[in-house]
Structure 1
Amino acid sequence: MSEHIIAFILGVVEGLTEFLPVSSTGHLILAGHLLGFEGQKAATFEVIIQLGSMLAVLVLFWRRYLSLLNFKTIGKSHKKLDIIHIILGVLPAALVGLILHDFIKNVLFSPKVVVVSLILGAILMIFAEKKHGRFTASTVDELSYMQALSIGLFQCLAVIPGFSRAGSTISGGLLSRADHKTSAEFSFLVALPIMVGATGLDLIKSLDFLHTNDIPMFAIGFITAFVVAMLVAVIFLKLIGKIGLSIFAYYRIVLAVLFTIFVIM
């Protein structure tokens, strides 16, 4: 199979899974293993296609990000999402990721950790779906600072490969009484700063492995991930309130079984 086809397939996988609560890391590892595309070049390629997903979020929510620059609304009594919500949602995971970056990359990036994380994340999602209380926030503008911080703390779980950033943050949102769509939208909004930091750090460390000959392959993966991620994000926000998290949790358990069969055994 040509590298261009592999790039397209992995771009689709990245775009489909980055913002769904199913673990894009787990899918990329499994898909890369099945396609025979592994090693440092594959790791660098994954960094590039994540940039495509990041661009999708920026395009979808650029107006919202611009509104966060209106510092006059910070701390006002009327309800309005502001930059403090984003900081509270980002800071905990950013600190954990920065402190543990090398440990995560060198120790936690293993098939067994991914399998365990897939299952534990599924349990968390089922628990959040069944145990959340009456919703007090039905839009991101109704989120309190405490709810934003709660979601930010849950996002710390996403530094573990296979746990899923979307799964962790949406579960945290439900348990802090934000409804499904609000939790998912806030998850997308806080994903961009986290991904910029994590991907930027990985990209710097991968510069030695970037070659001009790989530009067509990387471009295919980047563009594919961007287009697919944008479509998935729009559809997911429309459907999450109707379908909930449980269906994704059960899918994660199936994925864990497939991961065990094809990667570990």
Structure 2
Amino acid sequence: MNDLLTAVLLGIVEGVTEFLPVSSTGHLILASALLGYDEAHWRLFNIVIQLGAILAVVVLYWRTFWTVLLGLFRREAGPIRFVRNLLIAFVPAAVIGLALKKQIEALLLQPRVVAVALIVGGLAILVIERVVKPGTTRGIADVPARTALGVGFVQCLAMVPGVSRSGATILGALTLGVERRTAAEFSFFLAIPTMLGASVVELAGHHHELMAGQGAGLGAIAVGFIVSFIVALLVVRWFVGIVGRHGFAPFAWYRIVAGAAALFLLMR
């Protein structure tokens, strides 16, 4: 399979899975393991195309960001609390992620960890869906600071590949009393500083590869970026509608089936 076709395929995987509670990193790792991709060759590519998916959230919610920006200039309480909550939730991942960077990178080389995490995460979603009562907190600006901090610590679970950053933050927010739509949007917005920060750290650590032209070429990276952006645009809208009608159970069952199938294939 040539690099451009692989770039399209991985761009689709990233765009579909980045904001769903199914783990985009886990799917990219499994794609490398099961389809025979060279993980080292596509490592930098996988980092950059995450920014395409993040850009999709900025485009979809540009009115929200514009309103918040204007509110900050006017020193309005709502926009200030909005930004405060995102920063509070971002801090735990930034601190713990930098402290455990080497251990996290080691886990990225273990596709069986991803398969097991998919199954365990799916079971956790089913339990939370059944046990946790609907939350009442609506609007990111209205989320208490302690709840935002709790969501931030829960997000750190996603450092284990296969857990899912979006799944951890959404379900963590639900457990802490945030209603479904707000929990999903909190996860979308929190992805921006979290993934942007992670991408900057990784790019800084592998800038010599980019400058030397190692790994996937700039053409493949550009294709993957664009594909992940377009696919994420469609998926985010669809995801909010699905969650509103059916909850998170469909994604839980998908995780269990996908994880079991991956584990079976990897053990063979």
Distance of 2:167 and 2:261 partners within structure 1: 19
Indicate the residue corresponding to 1:129 in structure 2: 129
After TM superposition, the runs of 4+ consecutive aligned structure 1 residues lying more than 6 A away are none
Distance of 1:158 and 1:25 partners within structure 2: 9
Distance of 2:79 and 2:53 partners within structure 1: 29
- Where 1:138 maps in the other structure, the secondary structure is coil
In the TM superposition, residue 164 of structure 1 has moved relative to its aligned partner by 0.1
Residues 134, 220 of structure 1: alpha-carbon distance in 2 compared, 3 angstrom cutoff = closer
In the TM superposition, residue 31 of structure 1 has moved relative to its aligned partner by 1.9
- The one-letter code of the counterpart of 2:18 is E
Distance of 1:147 and 1:67 partners within structure 2: 23
The answer to whether structure 1 residue 216 and structure 2 residue 219 are counterparts is yes
Superposed counterparts of 1:93-112, under 5 Å: 93-107=93-107, 109-112=109-112
Distance of 2:149 and 2:251 partners within structure 1: 24
Indicate the residue corresponding to 2:230 in structure 1: 227
Distance of 1:48 and 1:157 partners within structure 2: 22
In the TM superposition, residue 81 of structure 1 has moved relative to its aligned partner by 4.6
Indicate the residue corresponding to 2:259 in structure 1: 256
Taking structure 1 as the reference length, the TM-score comes to: 0.91
Q: Is the 8 A contact 2:129 2:249 kept in 1?
A: yes
Pick one of 240, 244, 247 that aligns with 1:244: 247
More deviation in 17-26 or 38-47?
A: 38-47
Indicate the residue corresponding to 1:177 in structure 2: 177
Indicate the residue corresponding to 1:153 in structure 2: 153
Indicate the residue corresponding to 2:44 in structure 1: 44
Indicate the residue corresponding to 2:206 in structure 1: 206
In the TM superposition, residue 107 of structure 1 has moved relative to its aligned partner by 4.0
Deviations 1:173-225 (A, max 9, x none): 11112121111000001111000111111112222222288111111111000
Residues 47, 94 of structure 1: alpha-carbon distance in 2 compared, 3 angstrom cutoff = same
Distance of 1:165 and 1:48 partners within structure 2: 17
Distance of 1:91 and 1:154 partners within structure 2: 12
- The one-letter code of the counterpart of 1:234 is R
Residues 107, 5 of structure 1: alpha-carbon distance in 2 compared, 3 angstrom cutoff = closer
In the TM superposition, residue 79 of structure 1 has moved relative to its aligned partner by 9.5
- The one-letter code of the counterpart of 2:165 is R
Q: CA RMSD in A?
A: 2.1
Q: Is the 8 A contact 1:158 1:164 kept in 2?
A: yes
Residues 9, 82 of structure 1: alpha-carbon distance in 2 compared, 3 angstrom cutoff = same
- The one-letter code of the counterpart of 2:232 is A
| Structure 1: runs of 5 or more not aligned | none
In the TM superposition, residue 241 of structure 1 has moved relative to its aligned partner by 1.6
Distance of 2:196 and 2:45 partners within structure 1: 16
Distance of 2:238 and 2:182 partners within structure 1: 14
Aligned length: 262
| Structure 2: runs of 5 or more not aligned | none
Distance of 1:195 and 1:153 partners within structure 2: 15
In the TM superposition, residue 80 of structure 1 has moved relative to its aligned partner by 7.8
Distance of 2:80 and 2:181 partners within structure 1: 16
Q: Is the 8 A contact 1:73 1:82 kept in 2?
A: no
In the TM superposition, residue 264 of structure 1 has moved relative to its aligned partner by 4.1
Distance of 1:73 and 1:146 partners within structure 2: 21
Distance of 2:163 and 2:135 partners within structure 1: 24
In the TM superposition, residue 142 of structure 1 has moved relative to its aligned partner by 3.3
More deviation in 47-56 or 122-131?
A: 122-131
Q: Is the 8 A contact 1:61 1:189 kept in 2?
A: no
Q: Is the 8 A contact 2:123 2:256 kept in 1?
A: no
More deviation in 98-107 or 180-189?
A: 98-107
- Where 2:92 maps in the other structure, the secondary structure is helix
In the TM superposition, residue 262 of structure 1 has moved relative to its aligned partner by 2.7
